[in-house]
């Protein structure tokens, strides 16, 4: 399926590895020019090489988007090297601390919001003016099954729920301008070096299997390609009636009916 986004410019945060890398690869296969950011130059370089091998113009920028001050220079670099951002994929996220209210300080709670919400919001604010001017734009925010319902830890659940809420509001606000804003909610997805990889290394096969049996209806952890391809679809005109949505990619892991 030709998604009709060849030549567009995308910025994928946390795009050097994991789900961000997969989103960047899926977009590159559609002819999109890609900027990725991350904190490690060597990892950025290897992913940029992969993207270039698919025919994309690609750059990697060292940036920590949990610091909102990094948003402006990152955005400026992308515009200077590739052109204005048509497609923004806010993928950076994670947990600073993994416990409940009794073990999560206010500082840890705030830091999780910095990582999952505020950097993404800062980049949205920078990208939206160009998108409105050209009457076309796509923003895809990577949330989580634990932003839709109870699970995980308190700061992560709250931050991802806030991201989903901001996505919904922005999607409705910008719909008339041709700017579509959606979120994607992955379930427990295995990527090399990711959190579920670490989980499997740190626990016995019996513990891992029990988690799978209790939580994952497909009988296995998720994998990155379905999420990457959904991001590419949401970035296209084929998704022209989808905005303000939060779409699960969780193999039935979530229980929410909405």
Concatenated DSSP letters for 229-252? HHHHHHTSGGGTT--S-EEEESTT
CB atoms within 10 A of CB 33: 23
* pTM (two decimals): 0.96
pLDDT at 1 over 80: no
Confidence bin at 195 (pLDDT 50/70/90): confident
Could you give the CA distance from residue 219 to residue 232 in angstroms, rounded to a whole number?
26
> What is the per-residue pLDDT across 52-92, written as a single tens digit (0 to 9) for each?
999 999 999 999 999 999 999 999 999 999 999 999 999 99
Q: Which of 121, 150, 156, 199 is catalytic?
A: 156
Neighbouring-strand partners of residue 90: 141
Task: Give domain limits for the chain.
Answer: 9-187+223-246, 191-221
> What is the per-residue pLDDT across 29-51, written as a single tens digit (0 to 9) for each?
999 999 999 999 999 999 999 99
Contact criterion met (CB below 8 Å) for 27 and 10: yes
199 or 212, greater pLDDT: 212
Residue 156 catalytic?
yes
Fold for the domain defined by 9-187+223-246: Rossmann fold (3.40.50)
């Amino acid at each position: 399926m030709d998604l009709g986004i060849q030549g567009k410019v995308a910025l994928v945060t946390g795009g050097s590895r994991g789900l961000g890398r997969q989103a960047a690869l899926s977009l590159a296969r559609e002819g999109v020019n890609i900027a990725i950011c991350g904190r490690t130059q060597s990892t950025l370089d290897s992913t940029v090489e992969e993207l270039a091998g698919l025919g994309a113009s690609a750059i990697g920028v060292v940036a920590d988007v949990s610091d909102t001050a990094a948003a402006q220079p990152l955005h400026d670099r992308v515009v200077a090297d590739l052109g204005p951002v048509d497609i923004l994929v806010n993928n950076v996220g994670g947990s600073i601390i993994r416990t409940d209210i009794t073990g999560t300080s206010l500082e840890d709670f705030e830091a999780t919001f910095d990582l999952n919400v505020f950097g993404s919001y800062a980049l949205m604010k920078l990208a939206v003016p160009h998108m409105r001017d050209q009457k076309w734009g796509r923003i895809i925010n990577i949330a989580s099954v634990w932003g839709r319902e109870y699970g995980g830890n308190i700061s992560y659940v709250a931050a991802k729920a806030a991201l989903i809420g901001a996505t919904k509001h922005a999607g409705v606000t910008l719909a008339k301008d041709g700017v579509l804003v959606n979120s994607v909610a992955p379930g427990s997805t295995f990527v090399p070096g990711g959190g579920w990889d670490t989980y499997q290394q740190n626990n016995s096969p019996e513990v891992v299997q029990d988690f799978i049996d209790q939580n994952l209806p497909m009988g296995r952890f998720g994998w990155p390609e379905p999420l990457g391809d959904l991001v590419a679809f949401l970035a296209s005109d084929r998704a022209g009636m989808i905005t303000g949505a939060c779409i699960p990619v969780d193999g039935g892991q979530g229980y929410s009916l909405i």
